[in-house]
Amino acid sequence: MAAPCARGSMKQGILLAGAGSGHQGAASSLDHITRRVRERWPGLPCVAARTSGGHAGRGAAALALPTAEAGLDQLKSLGVEHAVIQSLHIIPGREFHRLLCLAQEHRRTGTFARLDVGVPLLGSEADIEAVARAVLRVAPERAGDGQAVLLMGHGTEHPGHDFYPALAARLAQLDPGVFMGTMDAAPGLADILARLEDFGARKVFLLPFLFGAGAHANRDMAGESGAASSWRERLLARGLDCEPVLKGAGEYDAFADIWLDHLAEALGGPGAQFDANSGA
């Protein structure tokens, strides 16, 4: 890591790095959080970039983002000396750890005088509490008994997945009618269905716990007729009324505030405290 320098003497710049999406529905989250960042730090260059390669060039032109590497090159060309990469991921999974490796490489080569990384939405035990409280603030109002809220996260085999069940446990303590599941790991929808039945749910509000309401939210969560494997169709098949809410986490100020707090810490503090070689 580069030796700490007085930030006031260096030009700072921000790279907002997320998974990226070719689906137009994901644009609102990026637009919202970018606007929030520019309002809070109006004098700093701010570049958006993607950490995954599968969606480049697909969908709306606004979503064809540069890679994180290219985004750092843009900041360098603008004369930035202290670059901060702010992760727009939900958990510290593989893509976040790739960002840490990228940062480590740039520190080694001295591209910037200083380079820090802001942690994802869920990056600490304190974040679990903050995010759980934010979930309750953004959850739809439930009119009476038998109504539940179900969040659909992505899930992963990476150890960072542990944040999902930890959040689910805290939500259950705060509100037994709010559930958390993931597509690619436990707890999956099959696990949640049994819990919904035990709860006595008759109607389920279905929300994506993803940065943006892109393809996963529209297809895997809320897909209609013909999408028999979508969470919506599976809930309906069990006799549950289902109301999807197609709004990504990045569109809510309650979540954006947490990401911006992490960015503020990275701009003025030591940055992310993760081992860049772990799980990368």
Tell me the CATH number at 39: 3.40.50.1400
Assess whether 54 and 30 both reside in one domain: yes
pLDDT on residue 21: 65
pLDDT for residue 118 is more than 70: yes
Average pLDDT over residues 111-130: 97
pLDDT on residue 159: 92
Average pLDDT over residues 34-38: 97
pLDDT for residue 275 is more than 50: no
Residue 275 lies in a domain: no
The whole model's pTM is what? 0.89
Assess whether 241 and 263 both reside in one domain: no
pLDDT band at 55 (very low <50, low <70, confident <90, very high): very low
Residue 273 lies in a domain: no
Assess whether 85 and 191 both reside in one domain: no
Q: Fill in the amino acid letter for 211.
A: F
Assess whether 129 and 243 both reside in one domain: yes
Assess whether 141 and 96 both reside in one domain: no
Assess whether 76 and 140 both reside in one domain: no
pLDDT on residue 24: 66
Residue 280 lies in a domain: no
Assess whether 131 and 238 both reside in one domain: yes
Assess whether 117 and 144 both reside in one domain: no
Residue 100 lies in a domain: yes
Query: What burial class does residue 145 get, using C-beta atoms within 10 Å of its C-beta: 0-12 exposed, 13-18 middle, 19+ buried?
Result: exposed
Q: Which has the closest alpha carbon to 266: 73, 3, 5, 14?
A: 14
For 189, residues 6+ apart whose C-beta sits below 8 A from its C-beta are 181, 231, 234
Q: What is the domain extent for residue 56?
A: 7-121+252-268
Residue 147 lies in a domain: yes
Residues designated catalytic: 154
pLDDT for residue 206 is more than 60: yes
Q: Which has the closest alpha carbon to 123: 140, 105, 151, 100?
A: 100
pLDDT band at 71 (very low <50, low <70, confident <90, very high): very high
Residue 170 lies in a domain: yes
Assess whether 134 and 93 both reside in one domain: no
pLDDT on residue 226: 61
- More confident call, 53 vs 255: 255
pLDDT on residue 3: 33
pLDDT band at 60 (very low <50, low <70, confident <90, very high): very low
Pick the range with the lowest mean pLDDT from 25-29, 88-92, 185-189, 243-247.
Answer: 25-29
Question: Total structural domains in the chain?
Answer: 2
Assess whether 151 and 105 both reside in one domain: no
% residues pLDDT > 70 (the chain): 86
For 186, residues 6+ apart whose C-beta sits below 8 A from its C-beta are 155, 165
